[in-house]
Structures are given as C-alpha cells and as structure tokens.
Amino acid sequence: MRVPESNVSAIRQSLAFRNRGLLGALLLVPAAVAVLFSEPLVAEGSAAGMAMDFAGWVLFLLYATFRLWATLYIGGKKDTELQTRGPYSMTRNPLYFGSLCFALSAASFLKSPTLLLMVLMLGAIYSGAVIKAEERLLEGKFGDEFRHWSRVTPRLFPSRGLLGSEESVEVSIRALRKEVLRLWAAALLPFLAEVVSHLRAAPWWPHFHWLPIY
C-alpha cells in the first residue's frame, strides 16, 4: 500500500523535514560556542586526549568512506531509484551515518564529552523525525520494495554482515565532484580542531568557569 499523495505532500512540508539543516545548526552551534570558551575537561596530551584524537580520526575516516561510497551508488538517482546495494545494503541511510560520524569526530577532536552528548542527541532527533519523514516519502514512491528492504536493513547504524555489493556501478560525475569538494572542505576539521584545543588549553584564553559545559 502506497502513501497517499496528500500525505507525501504533508511530509515534504513538515517542520522537521523542511528545516533539517537548521535544526542541526540550532542545536550544535550554541553548544560549540559554549565549549570553545569553557575550561577543557580532557587535557591536551593526556591518555584520554590521545584516545579522543584517535577516535576522531577513525570517525573522520568513516565519514569520508560512507559519504563517498554512498555517492557512488546513489549519484543523481535518489528520487528515481531505490538503491539497496553497497552501503545501502548495510544501512538505509549511509549519508546520514557519514554525517553523524563527521559531527562525532569534531566533538572528539575538540575533546568535549558534552559536545559528543549533544551530537548523539541530535542523531536521535534526526532518526526519529527527519529520517523517518524521508523514509515515508520513499515508502510512498517504492511501496513493497521499500518495506521489504526496511525490514532487513538497519535505519542508521551499519551491519557489516548484510553487505551486498556489485562489480560495477553507474557513477554520476557531477554528484561525485560535489561530494569530493565537500570532503576537501571537511578535511580542514582535524587541523582547526587541533588549533582550537591548544587555544582552550592556554592560560590566557577566556574560560567562563560558570558554564557547566566542557
């Protein structure tokens, strides 16, 4: 049974769906600013700090892998074809998973447990509101094919045991170029975060100790 067109239109006009980018910014930007001017909880060069740096690099590589991999498969076919192979066989939303890894890597590089918590909260909101709304659109377009795929494939976090791939895929060069440019910009994150971490550790940096955020 397909979702009626009136319901599809309502989903497209829903507050969460239309403002999904703004939603993330409203939650994360104030938290990031507060963290920037707070006393670091995790010391630079400590064992915990090195562990968070390592986690940041792992998460950043996961971000790059899933974003590029998903772009190779979905290209410009997002609204015309239901993709269920490659990264889409492991998770129904590899692009969102990649974006979540990017946000978590930023919090890890900044060595901020509070920002990590905020990112996880935002991920839960996206999964329950934004992603759910988008998937209702897919159900409206692809019906039983989508419902079967959604029953066996996790919504967000990949399951490696489900991986199903192909020897070749049709690639959209335009979509790939756009994603590569985004990745080049994102590559600045580890270096900027390292600079910010050293600034926060400096004794002359303004620390608002009354803020309960680290």
Q: Which comes out higher in pLDDT, residue 184 or 43?
A: 184
Q: Is 212 inside any structural domain?
A: no
Tally of structural domains, the chain? 1
Q: What pLDDT does residue 56 have?
A: 94
Centre a 10 Å sphere on the Cβ of residue 208 and count the other Cβ atoms it contains.
11
- How many residues does the structure list for the chain? 214
Q: Is 95 inside any structural domain?
A: yes
Q: Do residues 139 and 4 touch, judged by C-beta distance below 8 A?
A: no
Q: What pLDDT does residue 17 have?
A: 59
- What mean pLDDT is predicted for residues 69-90? 85
Q: Is 167 inside any structural domain?
A: yes
Asked whether residue 113 carries a pLDDT value surpassing 90, the answer given is: no
pTM beyond 0.85, yes or no: no
Chain segment 136-145, per-residue pLDDT in tens: 888 888 899 9
- What mean pLDDT is predicted for residues 98-111? 91
Q: What pLDDT does residue 149 have?
A: 94
Tokens encoding 60: 């950043």
State the chain's maximal CA–CA distance in angstroms. 63
Q: Is 83 inside any structural domain?
A: yes
In this prediction, residue 2 has a pLDDT band, given cuts at 50, 70 and 90, of very low
Q: Is 139 inside any structural domain?
A: yes
Q: What pLDDT does residue 155 have?
A: 92
The parent domain of residue 181 ranges over: 5-201
Q: Is 61 inside any structural domain?
A: yes
Q: Is 82 inside any structural domain?
A: yes
pLDDT mean across residues, the chain? 82
Tokens encoding 192: 């900027």
Asked whether residue 14 carries a pLDDT value surpassing 80, the answer given is: no
Q: Which comes out higher in pLDDT, residue 158 or 128?
A: 158
Residue 164: φ, ψ to 5°: -135, 125
In this prediction, residue 19 has a pLDDT band, given cuts at 50, 70 and 90, of low
Q: Is 207 inside any structural domain?
A: no
Q: Read off the CATH number of the domain in which 103 is found.
A: 1.20.120.1630
Share of the chain above pLDDT 90, in %: 31
Q: What pLDDT does residue 6 have?
A: 43
